[in-house]
Amino acid sequence: MSSQSRIGVRLVRIASVYLLAGLVLGLAMGLGKDFALMSVHSHVLLLGWATLAITGIVYLLLPRCAGTRLAAAHFWLHNLGLPVMVAGLTAEALGEPRAEPFVGLGSTVVVLALGLFTVNVLRNATAADLVRG
């Protein structure tokens, strides 16, 4: 596997872990009829499963984007910020008011990571990547 495709595969693998976590949380909420963690469930599935999987696939399709420092920064910031945000959301939903700064910090880091992803795609994506297949 090329070093350029490695980041895409890693993102898809991590995304699959978030998919399972989100599904298990949703099942547990449904079985217990307690939906206090609905915002956690939503964020795990949207920013964990969907966003990480889509960005991983983008990197697989656009290898010029995958081989950049922007891609590496996106990868690490997203994967550091999201667990902080999810932990903060969980604590906040369970009644811990001191968790709010963690939600804000984690969210800000994830937004920064996805901003870097956007800059990367705008700078480095070319139609030639898709044509080569």
pLDDT digits (tens, 9 = 90+) for 17-60: 999 999 999 999 999 999 999 999 999 999 999 999 999 999 99
Task: Give Cα separations from 99 to 32, 38, 85, 92, 106 (angstroms).
Answer: 24, 17, 9, 5, 11
What's the average model confidence in pLDDT over 83-92?
98
Q: How confident is the model at residue 126 (pLDDT cuts 50, 70, 90)?
A: confident
Asked if the model's pLDDT at residue 132 lies above 80, the reply is no
Cβ 90 vs Cβ 37: under 8 Å? yes
CA distance 17 to 113: 19
| Amino acid, res. 94 | L
Q: Are 56 and 10 in contact (CB under 8 A)?
A: yes
